[in-house]
């Protein structure tokens, strides 16, 4: 693997002009409400995602990218063509980010707050009860830097509009520095990642990259090569409804049985009691009536064995609920969502190694971590496009206290620039 030094090339760093452009892009993108919906039958799940996709399509055209295409499913692809000397060919790489935001928190009328952070608690002005504490382990690292928060009434949308702004700024910089050699760089902006459907119609062959990177991570210098193995589960509880005046010894309440089932979940296998590589069962929605109620779960474990153990636990709880509520029937169905991308990435170690080297070349120390969640990269890896995850600087995903550090975003841009150069030194596969 060729790790050539960028001799006689400009420093791969962002000056104040590019940092301002990065900030301007980010603020512009987060003001577009792209909240996805896990109850929608359309794809993308919300029409608002098209607003940002079309905005990005126009900006890619203005930058001068090639092969720009926005398809009927909301996948926006483009190419920054190779500038390698004639006769040299490097593997094409992909840069990916998703346009949608988490459906559980409002993304309407986002009011980003750009703060020259000098320490102390950050009281969010739209809702003073929302306070990002000064002792937050990441915020304390950002004294003297620019921090962008919400106003406390919505999420920020840095997941993953920070990644989008990072990629667009990488492209802008490379186009203004044609002396930096790189191979073909494919761009992909995708919908509905937050509801687990981001790769449903993603055509890996049409995308045409050897490897890709999702810019959808968090901490400065972090590269993630591992996700959970993930299933969805539905427990359907069927009871027996009758007029409450005649219910004695007859009614079987599916509502009460559902509540009982949730109460039986092992307390040491919940998301709020686990960390690092520990697995969990997580009830995410419950609805229904006396006659029938449904509880939806996500089931997570880093290994297939841990995942199977959590599935077995849910099946045992379902059986116990039937015993505790005579006459009730509990049917549990599982659906595969994604598997640990490390199973694929370990077969292509250079993809992660080059990302780690790219971080080093920015002057930061790379951290190789596991994601307690998933990315589009997990599903894409199993579709034939190995795709680890690169930090984009966002913290407190999905909530009203979400924030991002501009300088960390800039380091993410620089990581992508080094990635482009390093892959440009590799031989085509």
Separation of CA 384 from chain center: 19
SS3 358: helix
- Dihedral sign computed on CA atoms, order 217, 220, 223, 228: negative
- Which of 84, 75, 108, 80 lies closest to 94 in space, CA to CA? 80
Q: Is 315 labeled as catalytic in the residue annotation?
A: no
Q: Active site residue: 48, 193, 194, 224, which one?
A: 193
**Tokens, residue 26:** 């980010």
User: Which CA distances in Å does 181 have to 9, 60, 67?
Assistant: 9, 20, 20
**Tokens, residue 265:** 């979940």
**Tokens, residue 114:** 């750009």
d(CA 130, CA 156): 13
**Tokens, residue 119:** 């320490």
How many Cβ atoms are within 10 Å of 216's Cβ, its own excluded?
28
SS3 421: helix
**Tokens, residue 273:** 């009691």
**Tokens, residue 342:** 């490390």
d(CA 215, CA 98): 9
Which backbone phi and psi does 419 adopt, to 5 degrees? -60, -45
d(CA 379, CA 198): 9
Half-sphere exposure of 185 (CA within 13 A, CB side): 26
Quickly list DSSP for 163-184: HHHHHHHHHHHHHH-TTS----
Q: What DSSP designation does 263 have?
A: H
d(CA 357, CA 2): 11
Sheet holding 229-238, edge to edge: 280-288, 292-301, 229-238, 329-338
How many Cβ atoms are within 10 Å of 47's Cβ, its own excluded?
10
Q: Is 268 labeled as catalytic in the residue annotation?
A: no
**Tokens, residue 202:** 């993603």
Q: Active site residue: 100, 192, 216, 376, which one?
A: 100
d(CA 149, CA 244): 51
Task: Report, as residue numbers or ranges, the catalytic residues.
Answer: 100, 193
């Amino acid at each position: 693997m060729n790790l050539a030094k960028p001799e006689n090339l400009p420093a791969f760093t962002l000056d104040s002009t590019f940092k301002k452009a990065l900030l301007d892009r980010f603020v512009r993108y987060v003001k577009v409400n792209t909240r996805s919906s896990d109850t929608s039958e359309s794809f993308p799940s919300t029409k608002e995602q098209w607003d940002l996709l079309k905005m990005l399509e126009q900006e890619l055209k203005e930058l001068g990218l090639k092969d720009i295409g926005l398809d009927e499913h909301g996948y926006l692809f483009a190419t920054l063509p190779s500038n390698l000397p004639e006769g040299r060919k490097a593997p094409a790489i992909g840069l990916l980010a998703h346009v949608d935001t988490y459906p559980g928190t409002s993304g309407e009328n986002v009011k980003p707050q750009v703060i020259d952070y000098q320490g102390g608690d950050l009281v969010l002005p739209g809702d003073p009860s929302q306070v990002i504490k000064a002792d937050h382990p990441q915020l304390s690292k950002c004294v003297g830097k620019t921090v962008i928060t919400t106003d406390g009434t919505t999420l920020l949308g840095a997941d993953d509009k920070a990644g989008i702004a990072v990629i667009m700024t990488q492209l802008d910089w490379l186009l203004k520095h044609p002396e930096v050699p790189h191979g073909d760089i494919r761009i992909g902006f995708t919908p509905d990642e937050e509801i687990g459907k981001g790769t449903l119609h993603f055509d890996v062959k049409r995308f045409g990259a050897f490897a890709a990177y999702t810019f959808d991570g968090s901490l400065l210098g972090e590269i993630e090569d591992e996700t959970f193995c993930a299933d969805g589960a539905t427990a359907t509880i069927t009871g027996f409804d009758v007029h409450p005046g005649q219910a004695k010894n007859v009614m079987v309440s599916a509502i009460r049985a559902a509540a009982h089932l949730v109460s039986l979940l092992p307390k040491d296998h919940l998301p709020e009691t686990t960390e690092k590589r520990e697995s969990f069962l997580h009830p995410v929605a419950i609805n229904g009536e006396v006659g029938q109620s449904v509880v939806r779960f996500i089931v997570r474990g880093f290994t297939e064995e841990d995942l199977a153990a959590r599935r077995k636990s849910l099946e045992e709880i379902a059986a116990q609920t039937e015993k505790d509520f005579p006459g009730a029937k509990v049917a549990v169905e599982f659906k595969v969502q994604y598997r640990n991308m490390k199973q694929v990435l370990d077969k292509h170690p250079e993809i992660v190694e080059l990302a780690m080297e790219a971080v080093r070349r920015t002057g930061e120390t790379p951290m190789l971590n596991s994601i307690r969640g998933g990315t589009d990269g997990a599903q894409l890896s199993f579709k034939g496009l190995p795709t680890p995850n690169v930090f984009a600087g966002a913290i407190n995903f999905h909530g009203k206290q979400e924030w991002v550090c501009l300088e960390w975003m800039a380091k993410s841009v620089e990581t992508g620039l080094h990635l482009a150069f390093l892959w440009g030194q590799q031989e085509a596969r």
